[in-house]
C-alpha cells in the first residue's frame, strides 16, 4: 500500500490483520521493548505526525463573498451600476443596501459550517502510553509512529490503528467507526484476507474506545492512514449537493435576467420607432429592468428560511445551513442508522429462559425499574429459585456497574451486555453488596467465548461462568431446575438449543450462565474448572427501539417518504428491529451482498429491501449515489464517525445531538437536539410549510412585477409619458417584496400538508398553472394602473404618477390576500390566522401615505398629495381582484370535494 505523508510516500502492507504478531513486529522492526527514542524520532520525520490533515477552511471573507454567488444577486448589482451611471444614485443605493443585507443574513447563518475535519482531528486522543527503550512512558498521541508498542487499558481511546500482540479480556467499542452496537471482543492471531473490517478481532482502530480488559498493540497506521483517517479523506472528497431550492432559484434568476434584458431592449426599440429622446428611452429601459427583477426576493427567501430555522429549533431540529430547512420538506427517502437513532443504544434484558420456564422482563434502558412476568402475570423473582440463581450468577460473573446522576439519567460502566445483566439483577433486588470474596478469574476472549470467576463461599469455592449459551451447554452435564440439580439429558439439551435459535432469529443477543461447586481436589485451572457445569439458563438482550420511532416511521409512510435502515449491526438484529418498528422489508442486504451487485441490481432491490446491515462508509455513499440517480431527495441520519461522508453527500445530513459524534454533527446540515427520530417528521412538516410559503410569495412578487411591466409597456405603446419612474418602481418592490412578502412567509401550514407525497425536486416553483395565474393577475393589475394614470396625466403629471404609484400598491395589497393559499378561500384558512400579514398590509399602506404627504419624501419619490376621493377610487378599483380570487377558490374546492364524495 502506498500511503501519502505530506510530500513523502511510504510503502507499507495493507492487510496487517492477515499477519501474526511476530510478522508484524518483524515488518516494522520492533519488539517487546518497543522502539528506541532515536528510531521513533526518525520515523516521525519519515511518516509524519499522527494527526488528521486539516481541510482548508474558508475565511470569513470567502463565506461572505459566497453569498453573492447567485444569478439574482448579480442581476441586482448590474441594475445598481446601471442606475448609478444614468443619474439615479438613490436607486443604486437602495438596491445595494438590499443586496448587502441579504449577504449579511446568509453569512451569519453559515460561518460555523464546514468543521467536519477539525472535529475528526480533535477526536484523536491527546495522550497515549507507549513502550520505548523497554520503558513505559506517556507521550502526546501525535508522536506515535508505525512500530510503536502501545499499551491499552479500560477507558482508553485508541490513538492509532494497532495490531494486537497481547489481549486479556479486551473489548472495544467500535460503534463510532463501524456502527456495531455491542463491544467487539479482541484477541491476537492472524485472520484470513476476506475478513471484513467489523470482524478484524486482532486489530484495534483509532478513535474507538477500550471498554474492558487490557492489551498491547503495534502501531501499523497513523494519522490519515488509519481507518479513521480514510473516512476523513473520504469526507474531504465529498462535495455537498446543491439543494432543490438553490437550483430552482438559480434557474428563476437566469430566466428573470433574460426576460429583463429582452423587455428593456424591446422597449428601447419601440421608443426609437416613436422617435423619443435617448435619455427617456434609457430611463424606460432601466425602469422595465427594475420592474422585472424582484429585488427583495433573495432577502425574503433568506429571512423566511431563517425564521423557519427558529421554528424548527422549537421542534428540536437545529438547522446548520439555511436551505436545509426547506430541503427537508422535499425529502423522499430517509436513510437512517439503527443504533442510537431508531434504538436507544442501551442494551436491555427482555427475556430470561431457565430450564423450568421463560420469564419476560419489563423496563428499558439502564434504569433499575421493571417487572418479571410469567405468562403475563408479575412474579417475585427472588421467590423463584431458578430465576434467582440465574440472576445471581450473571451478577457475580460480571465487572460492570451502573449509577444514576442528579438528573435521573442512568449510566453503565463496563460493557453494555454485562451492564444489561447487572441492571436485570438490580430489578430483582440483587446487588454485589454481600458478594463473597473472588479468588480467581478466567477472562473472556473470542476463542473461549466465556468467562469464569471463582468465589470463596463458606468452606469451599464456587465457579460462576457466563458466556455463549451453546458453549456452556456443551460444558454442562447438569442443570438447575425447580430448585434442584438434575441431569442434563440429550432431549433437554436439544430443546434448549432450539429455543436458542428462536432467540437469535428474533435478533436477541443471548448470554448464558452456569455454575459449579468446586471440590478441593480440582485444580484451579480453566480446563479443570470449566467442565461438568450446572446450566442455569440464558438471557435474551436487545437494544430496544425508541418508543416514538414506530409512529415516526408510520407518519413518514403517510407522507410518501421511504425509510431505509442502514446499520453496521448484524442482519438478524437489524431485521428484528425493523419488524418491531413496522418497517416492511423483503429480508436484509449485507455489505457483502452490496459488493456482489451491480448498481442496477441494487437499485431494484432497494425498492423492496429496506434493511442494509454490515455496511461501510463506502457502501453508504454508493447507496446515496444510486438513490440520487433516481432523482430522490435523500436525508441521511447518523451519529458515528463512519456516517460523516454520507451525511455530507446526502441532500440533507441529519446528526444526533446527544449521542452523535462531533464529526457527524459538523458534517451534517441538521442536528436532532433530542435524538428523536420523530422530530424528523416535525421537521419535514415545517420544511414543507416553508416551501409552500416561498412558492406563495415568489408567485405573488412576480405577479406584482408583471403588473408594473404591463403598466409601463402599455403606456409606452399608447404613447403616454413614463407612468412610473425607476425610484417609484423600486419603492413598490420594497413594499411588496418586504413586509407583506415576508409576512406571507409566516403563513401556517395547510391541514393536509403531511398527507401529500413529496414534491418533485425538478418541478419549478413556476408551474404552467402558476405562470397562467401570474400573467392573468399581472395583466389585471397593469391595466388598472393604466386606468388610474390615464385620467390625470394631461392635467397634472405628478398627480397622475402618484395615482398610478399608489394604486399599484393598493392593488397588490389586495393581491397578497389571494396568495395566502392556492386552494383554500379566506373563510377556510381564517382571515386573521396570519395576523402578521394583516399588520404588514396596514403598515405598507401607512408608509405609502407618508410618501404621498411628507414633503421630503414627495421630492425624493416624485409624488403629489391625493384627496380622500382619490384613495376611495383606488380601493374600489382593486376590490374585484380579491373577490375574483375568492370566487375561483370556492368553486374549485367544491369541485374537488364533490369529486371525492362517493356516488
Could you identify the residue written with the cell 441520519?
637
Three cell numbers written together for 180 = 456495531
Please report the beta strands in 188-261, taking only residues with DSSP state E, as ranges in sequence order: 203-204, 209-221
Q: How far is CA 11 from CA 5, 46, 252, in A?
A: 11, 11, 52
Separation of alpha carbons 691 and 572, rounded Å: 40
Could you identify the residue written with the cell 423600486?
730
Question: Is residue 337 among the annotated active site residues?
Answer: yes
SS3 call for 30: coil
Q: Are 774 and 577 in contact (CB under 8 A)?
A: no
Separation of alpha carbons 103 and 80, rounded Å: 16
Element spanning 752, H or E: none
Separation of alpha carbons 648 and 241, rounded Å: 8
Three cell numbers written together for 266 = 424591446
Around Cβ 850, how many Cβ atoms within 10 Å? 11
Q: Tell me 739's DSSP state.
A: I
Residues 6+ apart with CB under 8 A from 419: 347, 366, 400, 401, 402, 412, 413
Separation of alpha carbons 507 and 504, rounded Å: 5
DSSP 298-364: HHHHHHHHHHHHHHHHHTTEEESSHHHHHHHTT--EEEE-STTTTB-S--EEEEEE-SS-EEEE---
Q: Tell me 74's DSSP state.
A: H
Q: Please state the three-class secondary structure of 177-245 as a single string.
A: HHCCCCCEECCCCCCCCCCCHHHCCCEECCCCEEEEEEEEEEEEECHHHCHHHHHHHHHHHCCCCCCHH
Separation of alpha carbons 598 and 605, rounded Å: 11
Exactly one of 91, 148, 156, 337 is catalytic; which is it? 337
Q: Using a CB cutoff of 8 Å and minimum separation of 24, what contacts does 830-839 make?
A: 833/748, 834/743, 834/744, 834/746, 834/747, 834/748, 836/743, 836/746, 837/740, 837/743, 837/744, 837/746, 837/747, 839/743
SS3 call for 87: coil
Separation of alpha carbons 798 and 794, rounded Å: 10
Separation of alpha carbons 726 and 732, rounded Å: 10
Residues 6+ apart with CB under 8 A from 422: 394, 395, 398, 400, 401, 402, 412, 414
Q: Are 148 and 215 in contact (CB under 8 A)?
A: no
Around Cβ 819, how many Cβ atoms within 10 Å? 24
Could you identify the residue written with the cell 485444580?
523
Three cell numbers written together for 59 = 475565511
Three cell numbers written together for 276 = 423619443
The dihedral of CA 788, 789, 795, 796: what is its sign?
positive
User: Measuring CA to CA, which residue among 147, 115, 141 is closest to residue 33?
Assistant: 147
How many residues would you count in the chain?
903
Q: Are 684 and 559 in contact (CB under 8 A)?
A: yes
Q: How far is CA 565 from CA 20, 578, 617, 647, 651, in A?
A: 37, 8, 14, 14, 17
Separation of alpha carbons 386 and 384, rounded Å: 6
Backbone torsion region of residue 133, taken as left when φ is above 0, otherwise alpha when ψ lies between -120 and 50, otherwise beta: left
Q: What residues are labeled active site?
A: 337
Amino acid at each position: 500500500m502506498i500511503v501519502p505523508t505530506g510530500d513523502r510516500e511510504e510503502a507499507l502492507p495493507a492487510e496487517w490483520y492477515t499477519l501474526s504478531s511476530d510478522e508484524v513486529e518483524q515488518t516494522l522492526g520492533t519488539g517487546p521493548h518497543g522502539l528506541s527514542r532515536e528510531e521513533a524520532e526518525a520515523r516521525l520525520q519519515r511518516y509524519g505526525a499522527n494527526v488528521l490533515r486539516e481541510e482548508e477552511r474558508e475565511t470569513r471573507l470567502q463565506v461572505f463573498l459566497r453569498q453573492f454567488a447567485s444569478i439574482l444577486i448579480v442581476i441586482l448589482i448590474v441594475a445598481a451600476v446601471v442606475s448609478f451611471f444614468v443619474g439615479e444614485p438613490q436607486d443604486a443605493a437602495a438596491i445595494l443596501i438590499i443586496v448587502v443585507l441579504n449577504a449579511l443574513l446568509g453569512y451569519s447563518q453559515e460561518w460555523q459550517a464546514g468543521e467536519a475535519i477539525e472535529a475528526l482531528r480533535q477526536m484523536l486522543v491527546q495522550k497515549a502510553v507507549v513502550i520505548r527503550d523497554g520503558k513505559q512512558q506517556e507521550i502526546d498521541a501525535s508522536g506515535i509512529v508505525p512500530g510503536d508498542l502501545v499499551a491499552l487499558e479500560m477507558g482508553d481511546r485508541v490513538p492509532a490503528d494497532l495490531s494486537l500482540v497481547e489481549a486479556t479480556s479486551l473489548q472495544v467499542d467500535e460503534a463510532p467507526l463501524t456502527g456495531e452496537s455491542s463491544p467487539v471482543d479482541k484477541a491476537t492471531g492472524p485472520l484470513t484476507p476476506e475478513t471484513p473490517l467489523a470482524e478484524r478481532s486482532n486489530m484495534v482502530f483509532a478513535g474507538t474506545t477500550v471498554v474492558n480488559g487490557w492489551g498491547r498493540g503495534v502501531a501499523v497506521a497513523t494519522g490519515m492512514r488509519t481507518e479513521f483517517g480514510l473516512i476523513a479523506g473520504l469526507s474531504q472528497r465529498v462535495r455537498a449537493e446543491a439543494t432543490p431550492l438553490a437550483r430552482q432559484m438559480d434557474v428563476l434568476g437566469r430566466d428573470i435576467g433574460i426576460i429583463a434584458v429582452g423587455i428593456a431592449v424591446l422597449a428601447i426599440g419601440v421608443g426609437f420607432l416613436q422617435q423619443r429622446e435617448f435619455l427617456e428611452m434609457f430611463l424606460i429601459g432601466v425602469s422595465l429592468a427594475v420592474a422585472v427583477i424582484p429585488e427583495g426576493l433573495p432577502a425574503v427567501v433568506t429571512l423566511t428560511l431563517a425564521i423557519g430555522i427558529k421554528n424548527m429549533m422549537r421542534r428540536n431540529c437545529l438547522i446548520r445551513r439555511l436551505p436545509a430547512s426547506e430541503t427537508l420538506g422535499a425529502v423522499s427517502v430517509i436513510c437512517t442508522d439503527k443504533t442510537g437513532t431508531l434504538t436507544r443504544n442501551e442494551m436491555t434484558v427482555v427475556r430470561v429462559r431457565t430450564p423450568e420456564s421463560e420469564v419476560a422482563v419489563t423496563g428499558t434502558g439502564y434504569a433499575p425499574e421493571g417487572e418479571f412476568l410469567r405468562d403475563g402475570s408479575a412474579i417475585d423473582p427472588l421467590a423463584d429459585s431458578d430465576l434467582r440463581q440465574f440472576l445471581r450468577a450473571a451478577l457475580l460473573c460480571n465487572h460492570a456497574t451502573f449509577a444514576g446522576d442528579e438528573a435521573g439519567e442512568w449510566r453503565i460502566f463496563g460493557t453494555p451486555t454485562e451492564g444489561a445483566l447487572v441492571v436485570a439483577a438490580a430489578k430483582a433486588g440483587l446487588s454485589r453488596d454481600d458478594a463473597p470474596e473472588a479468588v480467581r478469574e478466567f477472562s473472556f476472549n473470542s476463542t473461549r467465548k466465556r468467562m469464569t470467576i471463582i468465589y470463596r463461599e463458606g468452606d469451599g469455592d464456587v465457579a460462576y461462568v457466563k458466556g455463549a449459551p451453546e458453549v456452556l451447554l456443551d460444558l454442562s452435564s447438569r442443570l438447575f431446575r425447580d430448585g434442584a440439580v438434575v441431569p442434563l439429558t440429550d432431549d433437554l439439551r436439544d430443546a434448549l438449543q432450539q429455543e436458542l435459535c428462536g432467540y437469535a432469529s428474533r435478533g436477541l443477543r443471548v448470554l448464558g450462565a452456569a455454575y459449579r461447586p468446586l471440590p478441593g481436589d480440582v485444580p484451579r485451572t480453566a480446563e479443570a474448572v470449566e467442565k461438568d457445569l450446572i446450566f442455569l439458563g440464558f438471557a435474551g438482550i436487545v437494544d430496544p427501539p425508541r418508543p416514538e420511532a414506530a409512529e415516526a416511521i408510520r407518519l413518514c409512510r403517510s407522507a410518501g417518504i421511504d425509510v431505509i435502515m442502514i446499520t453496521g449491526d448484524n442482519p438478524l438484529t437489524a431485521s428484528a428491529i425493523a419488524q418491531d418498528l413496522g418497517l416492511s422489508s423483503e429480508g436484509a442486504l449485507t455489505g457483502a451482498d452490496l459488493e456482489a451487485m451491480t448498481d442496477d441490481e441494487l437499485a431494484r432491490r432497494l425498492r423492496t429491501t429496506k434493511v442494509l446491515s454490515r455496511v461501510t462508509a463506502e457502501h453508504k455513499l454508493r447507496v446515496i449515489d444510486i438513490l440520487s440517480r433516481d432523482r430522490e431527495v435523500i436525508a441521511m441520519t447518523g451519529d458515528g464517525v463512519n456516517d460523516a461522508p454520507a451525511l455530507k453527500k446526502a441532500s440533507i445530513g441529519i446528526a444526533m445531538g446527544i449521542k452523535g459524534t462531533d464529526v457527524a454533527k459538523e458534517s451534517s446540515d441538521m442536528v436532532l437536539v433530542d435524538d428523536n427520530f420523530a422530530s424528523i417528521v416535525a421537521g419535514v412538516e415545517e420544511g414543507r410549510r416553508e416551501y409552500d410559503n416561498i412558492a406563495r410569495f415568489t408567485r405573488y412578487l412576480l405577479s406584482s412585477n408583471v403588473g408594473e411591466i404591463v403598466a409601463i409597456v402599455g403606456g409606452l405603446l399608447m404613447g403616454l409619458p413614463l407612468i412610473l419612474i425607476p425610484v417609484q418602481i423600486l419603492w413598490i418592490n420594497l413594499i411588496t417584496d418586504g413586509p407583506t412578502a415576508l409576512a406571507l412567509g409566516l403563513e401556517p401550514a395547510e391541514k393536509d400538508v403531511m398527507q401529500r407525497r413529496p414534491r418533485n425536486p425538478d418541478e419549478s416553483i413556476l408551474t404552467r398553472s402558476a405562470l397562467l395565474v401570474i400573467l392573468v393577475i399581472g395583466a389585471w393589475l397593469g391595466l388598472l394602473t393604466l386606468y388610474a394614470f390615464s385620467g390625470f396625466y394631461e392635467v397634472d403629471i405628478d398627480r397622475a404618477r402618484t395615482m398610478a404609484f399608489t394604486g399599484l400598491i393598493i392593488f397588490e395589497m389586495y393581491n397578497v390576500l389571494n396568495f395566502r393559499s392556492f386552494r383554500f378561500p379566506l373563510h377556510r384558512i381564517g382571515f386573521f390566522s396570519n395576523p402578521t400579514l394583516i399588520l404588514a398590509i396596514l403598515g405598507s399602506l401607512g408608509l405609502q401615505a407618508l410618501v404621498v404627504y411628507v414633503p421630503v419624501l414627495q421630492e425624493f419619490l416624485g409624488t403629489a398629495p391625493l384627496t380622500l376621493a382619490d384613495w376611495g377610487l383606488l380601493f374600489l378599483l382593486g376590490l374585484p381582484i380579491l373577490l375574483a380570487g375568492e370566487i375561483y377558490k370556492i368553486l374549485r374546492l367544491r369541485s374537488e370535494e364533490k369529486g371525492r364524495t362517493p356516488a
